[in-house]
Structure 1
Amino acid sequence: MRNSMTRAGFTRRDTASTEFMDDPGCDPERLERTYQQFRTVNRLVSGWRRIYRQWIRPRLDTGRPTTMLDIGFGGGDISRALAGWAARDGLALRTTAIDPDERALRHVHRLPAAGVRFEQASSADLVARGDRYDLVISNHLLHHLDTGELAALLADSEALSRRLVVHNDLSRARVGYGLYAVATLPFARRSFIHQDGLLSIRRSYRRAELQAVVPQGWQVRPMFAQRLLLTHEGEQREGEHREGEQRKGEHR
């Protein structure tokens, strides 16, 4: 059964159910509408504007382009939004967005975005070919993964990132579940945004749960409203690197 409501309520994660859109044989029209609705849902609940201001914009430059990898781009709206905000701020951001699902790639190719290159690939594929990026991000990806897949994603993220990783996901809570259920009910018949969104909440971690399963060096931070940021910073931040180079110049 694709969607098995857990008898444990919200005490434990629902790891037995799978989302409708993850089924390769799901209704393609409903899937396409789901991709289209991601932009609205993420704008309202994902908090990326705040993440951009606090975590990403301070690491961007007007001259040297900063490279960013978006893992599991889905509808592509997060990559496009970040590229747009950086461009309006006069900052150079060059983004590669990957997703292993060819259906996601077909969707985003209908809406090309300046500064973003979309590719059908996994994080493991990019590690294998030796790619590196200044920043690595994901949105609503962690709750899809089992323990082994999560460990592999975090290892790949560390290998791919020079400076910062930010994985942004939901935090399981009854209040958020109820509000989302009411807000998205009108879309229940036309897309998967209602059913899969509710399941995503039931599959998501709470802060202590996620911190308990991530390696040393990863930090779990709560963010309003009912969200978690899983972050990892590189051994040498760009600002520290520049200060070090300046000090070297002073002693020459």
Structure 2
Amino acid sequence: MTPLAQRDDTLREIMDDPDCDPVRLRRTLERFSLVNRLVAGWGTVYRTRIAPALRAAPGPVRILDIGCGGGDVLRMLVRRARRDGFDATGLGVDPDERGLAVACATPASGVTYRAARSADLVAAGERFDVVVSNHVLHHLSASEMTTLLDDSMRLTRRIALHSDIARSPLAYALYAAGITPLAPGTFLRTDGLRSIRRSRTAAEFAALRLPEWTVSRPVPFRVLLTHAVVSARDLPAAGARTHGEATP
């Protein structure tokens, strides 16, 4: 059996250590902005899933990013929504204030950040039109992920989307080679490769039998969990599979 044949949930990322090098951590979070633009596929997800959901909203829209880290994904989504004419604001939450410090260092109109978890927002009765997370799920156990997904359904009025890495030997090899120019002075290479080994495949997500969530592969090397409150006809069917139909 190859090392990537099974998820390795024993690995820990360096940046999750509260005592890790703060300078290297800051550089890592700052460079995530470029890495996410190159490979995370949020432009496609915005165009095919988020924008159609926002068009069903009657007024101002709120976007929530859970585990926002440096905040680059949230800033991009709010910027795209505003460019498309939506009266959009965004909230990024993360329990790690080190990441929030990096996020707050890049202000964006309509975007705020808060040290909080999804459960805190549920308890406060908060609601959002769009709920997202990026590269959070591989950090979680099955029970922790179920809690996050349940919170997301309570928090969203329209759609919730959780994007993560889809583990594969090709993803591992390409990332190992491609990240090299960006990696010096950061945790990008070590933590990125560990993240891939911790990540679930689409088939593994499907095997969890998550009610009310669909599993899809909108872009290469990524898996997307979607819970849509809006009518299914408002979202594209191309490329999407139900949780029982996902393929590796």
* TM-score over 0.5 (shorter chain): yes
* Correspondent of 2:41 among 33, 39, 47: 47
Render the CA deviation track for 1:208-238: whole Å, top value 9, x for unaligned: 101122421111111221111100112x549
CA distance in 2, matches of 1:89, 1:78: 17
CA distance in 1, matches of 2:81, 2:201: 31
Number of positions where the alignment pairs a residue of Structure 1 with one of Structure 2? 233
What is the match of residue 207 of structure 1?
202
What is the match of residue 151 of structure 1?
146
CA distance in 1, matches of 2:20, 2:30: 16
Corresponding residue SS for 1:152: helix
TM-score by length of 2: 0.89
* Correspondent of 2:22 among 25, 28, 33: 28
Return the offset for 1:188.
3.9
Corresponding residue SS for 1:60: helix
What is the match of residue 13 of structure 1?
7
Identity over the aligned pairs, expressed in percent?
45
CA distance in 2, matches of 1:221, 1:112: 32
TM-score by length of 1: 0.87
Alignment of 1:135-174 (within 5 A): 135-174=130-169
What is the match of residue 239 of structure 2?
none
Return the offset for 1:176.
1.2
CA distance in 2, matches of 1:158, 1:33: 33
CA distance in 2, matches of 1:56, 1:165: 9
What is the match of residue 79 of structure 1?
74
Paired residues of 2:63 and 2:78 also in contact (CA < 8 A): no
Corresponding residue SS for 1:100: coil
Return the offset for 1:94.
1.5
Paired residues of 2:78 and 2:90 also in contact (CA < 8 A): yes
Change (3 A) 1:239 1:16: closer
CA distance in 1, matches of 2:8, 2:233: 41
CA distance in 1, matches of 2:231, 2:183: 45
Render the CA deviation track for 1:55-79: whole Å, top value 9, x for unaligned: 1112225971111111011111001
CA distance in 2, matches of 1:59, 1:218: 16
Larger radius of gyration, structure 1 or 2? 1
Corresponding residue SS for 2:162: strand
What is the match of residue 32 of structure 2?
38
CA distance in 1, matches of 2:64, 2:183: 32
CA distance in 2, matches of 1:210, 1:99: 24
Return the offset for 1:179.
0.8
What is the match of residue 226 of structure 2?
231
CA distance in 2, matches of 1:214, 1:112: 39
Render the CA deviation track for 1:123-169: whole Å, top value 9, x for unaligned: 01111111111111111111010111111101111111111111011
- The code of the aligned residue for 2:52 comes to P
In structure 1, runs of 5+ residues without a counterpart are 1-6, 241-252
Return the offset for 1:193.
0.9
Change (3 A) 1:206 1:168: same
CA distance in 2, matches of 1:71, 1:10: 27
